[in-house]
Amino acid sequence: MDWVWLLYEKYITKRLVTKASPSPSEEELQAAFIEALSKSLITILVQEPWRGSVRFKCLDKAAASDRFDLLENPESYLVGRFGGGKFKLNFHDGWNFVATQNFKPKGDPLWTELPDFDEEVVV
């Protein structure tokens, strides 16, 4: 999960410096990271061709604590669940945007037939 810390490091450091000492300890940084990550939301989007351009289709929104397997091995998770494509993971701590990370795993795009996450599925 080192890649997730790299996404959160600047956000966490800025938060601690404005609230506490000018140089937070490693323990303070790690505690704040775990707290923020436990409250974070991950949005999984995929880039898809659309009307001669591209758009980002929302595939999933979930608490980071519910997607530990995604945090441990993002490419394996994405390929196993959605197939190949150009994916964007957005991380939010409450209303605060933290960071985004892109992945391009190889494979057949299994996501093309899935509805947008925000769309209501009628059966």
| pTM across the whole model | 0.87
Domain locations in the chain as residue ranges? 2-110
Contact 46, 60 (CB under 8 A): no
Contact 38, 64 (CB under 8 A): yes
What is the residue-level pLDDT of the chain in tens, covering all 123 positions?
899 999 999 999 998 887 667 888 999 999 999 999 999 999 999 999 888 888 899 999 999 999 999 999 999 999 999 999 999 999 999 999 999 999 999 999 999 888 777 654 443
Instruction: Provide the Cα torsion 17, 66, 100, 34; round to 10°.
Output: 20
In 3D space, the residue among 70, 61, 51, 64 whose CA is nearest the CA of residue 93 turns out to be 64
CA 19 to CA 107: how far, in whole Å?
45
